[in-house]
Amino acid sequence: MKTHTLTVRDRRLSWDDRRLTRDSVAVDEVAVDMDEEYRGCDTVVAVMVSAAHQDPVRMVVEGGLYRIPSEFTRHTGSILTCLIGYVGEVQRVTSEQESQPLVVTKSGPVCGTDPADEQPDLWRQLLETVEECKRIAQSVRDDADAGKFDGADGSATVGSITSGDIDQICN
């Protein structure tokens, strides 16, 4: 577990180590070193947003800590953080925008399985299956035209599948 210290003084935020590594999962947490103003709050919330994850995510700071959601380490780039302190239902303290936010850096190769031949993506597999189906359908049509099948109504029949069934499936 990597702990990053976020210091807040006079509503300004600073980090001891701003670097996170891309593709890290559930291993980064933040220890918040609060000044008197934030320590006097009933609740403190960290709000995080990045270019890749534009919807703000709010985490309650409990015991001076919060975890950085793994969704923020899926892409490289900056992560902006804001601390909001609440006193009762009326007062709210908000930190300034950071001048040096957290940064997700590139990771080394992420491994975990033995190397394998590259697999086509699902869309490509589907297209290849459709093309194969069309090729088979044309082959059946060609055989039927050559008189290799003798269906009662003139259609080609292979088992219980007719050339009409193949046309309906593949077209």
Structural domain boundaries in the chain? 2-105, 122-170
The pLDDT value given to residue 170: 55
pLDDT tens track for 88-128: 888 899 999 888 999 999 988 766 555 555 555 676 777 78
Domain 2-105, architecture per CATH: Sandwich (2.60)
75, 107 in Cβ contact below 8 A?
Answer: no
pLDDT tens track for 120-165: 567 677 778 888 888 888 888 888 788 776 655 555 555 555 556 5
Burial of 114 (0-12, 13-18, 19+ CB in 10 A): exposed
Does residue 89 sit in helix, strand or coil? coil
